[in-house]
Chain A
Amino acid sequence: MQADFHSRDSGRCFLKKLLLNLIFYPLFVAVTAGMFGFFLFPLLLIRPLIGPRRIVRIVRALILLYGSIVIRVLPFPFVRIRYKDYEKEKKRGACVYVCNHRSSSDGFLMANLNVEAVQVVNNWPFRIPIIGWVARVAGYLSVRTMAFEAFMKESCRLLGEGVSIIAFPEGSRSTDRVVNQFNGAVFRVAQAARVPVVPVCLSGNQFIPPKGTGILNPGLIKVHKLPALEWEFYKDWTPFKLKNVVREIIQSEVDTLEAV
């Protein structure tokens, strides 16, 4: 009897997974091509008329819209997102958002933050057709190809213009609950630009999709935007201390969310 329940349950799970992947990927390709064809390409054609700065802002706004569609609409109802903002009432200017790295869907999930931002990425996202090209237009920063001085200068310029920076300082995805050691570059930027550091915790998307595969699993993804560390609070810390305190905050949230 119990074995019968189990096999029926796993059959249902398999069916959900199959449906999710069969529905998501064709729609993903269609939406990506549609966003490019209907919005981005025409925008680039009229670029000389409205100026490069406005174009970049519009492209970033479109990335937010695109990310929201990809994470909230396309995989629904198989994948659900629960977003929690610990500072709901507070309006903030440009910040450095620091997030743990769980899956290739992390970048899309940052649409939840709903801010004009530039992501710090490795080289590989730039190589994805359309997405990589749009990331370049939006001014995304390639941490692998830029010298630290150039990275610092460009990041401070963006923050000064009111554009937030989103980074995944683990570099590569953690394969378990342990948040990997952080690279300190983005924390040095926050200190130099005197902006708040906002820890963001992701949980649940380590299976959506799991590392090494593109197969999506149904599930619940939690995105928690945690209270910011203000510059006045951390200004006397070393970058080493700052990155480790932020890492501990995120680790503690992961432990809470994924407690067995």
Chain B
Amino acid sequence: MNDDQVKKGVDEVFEEAFEISPDRLKPESKIFEDLGLDSLDIVDLIVALQKKFKVQIREDERVRKIRTLDDIYQFIIALKNAGGFSQS
């Protein structure tokens, strides 16, 4: 899975789990202010990302620093590069 596929997969999570239209999903979109997620939605987001990419996401410093959609792309890409994962 290359970086573009990861980004596409993250976008799909937002589209499926939150019904956010693709035109709103820009790398610079702020997760709270622009996309309207709150702290409880973040839990749902993490569950959906774990399911999509079959990874374990633990709350650490990197997760707390996430602000934009691009931050999520980079976080998942870093997870992939660190340990690798498979997509069903």
Contact = CB atoms under 8 A, between A and B. Distances in A.
A118 to B, nearest CB: 20
B41 interface: yes
Interface stretch (A4-12, A182-190, A209-217, A252-260): A182-190
Given A240-B41, A240-B44, A182 B17 contact: no
A240 B38 CA distance: 9
A28 B36 CA distance: 38
A238 B40 contact: no
A243 B44 CA distance: 15
Given A238-B17, A238-B19, A240-B18, A181 B40 contact: no
A244 B36 contact: yes
Contacts of B18: 238, 240-241
Interface in B1-55: 17-19, 32-33, 36-41, 44
A181 to B, nearest CB: 4
A241 B39 CA distance: 15
A244 B21 CA distance: 13
- Of the four ranges (under 10, 10 to 19, 20 to 34, 35 or more), the interface on chain B belongs to 10 to 19
B15 to A, nearest CB: 12
B36 A181 contact: yes
Give the secondary structure class of A's interface.
helix
A188 B44 CA distance: 12
B38 A183 contact: yes
Interface string A118-147: 000000000000000000000000000000
A86 interface: no
Nearest to A188: B40
Interface string A159-184: 00000000000000000000001111
Residue of A182, A184, A239, A243 ringed by the most chain B CB atoms within 10 A: A184
B68 to A, nearest CB: 15
A181 B38 contact: yes
Contacts of B40: 148, 183-185, 188, 239
B52 to A, nearest CB: 16
Nearest to A187: B40
Nearest to B36: A181
B76 to A, nearest CB: 20
Interface of A: 148, 181-185, 188, 238-241, 243-244, 247
26 contacts: A148-B40, A181-B32, A181-B33, A181-B36, A181-B38, A182-B36, A182-B38, A183-B39, A184-B38, A184-B40, A184-B41, A185-B40, A238-B17, A238-B18, A238-B19, A238-B44, A239-B40, A239-B41, A240-B17, A240-B18, A240-B36, A240-B37, A240-B41, A240-B44, A241-B18, A243-B36
Interface of B: 17-19, 32-33, 36-41, 44
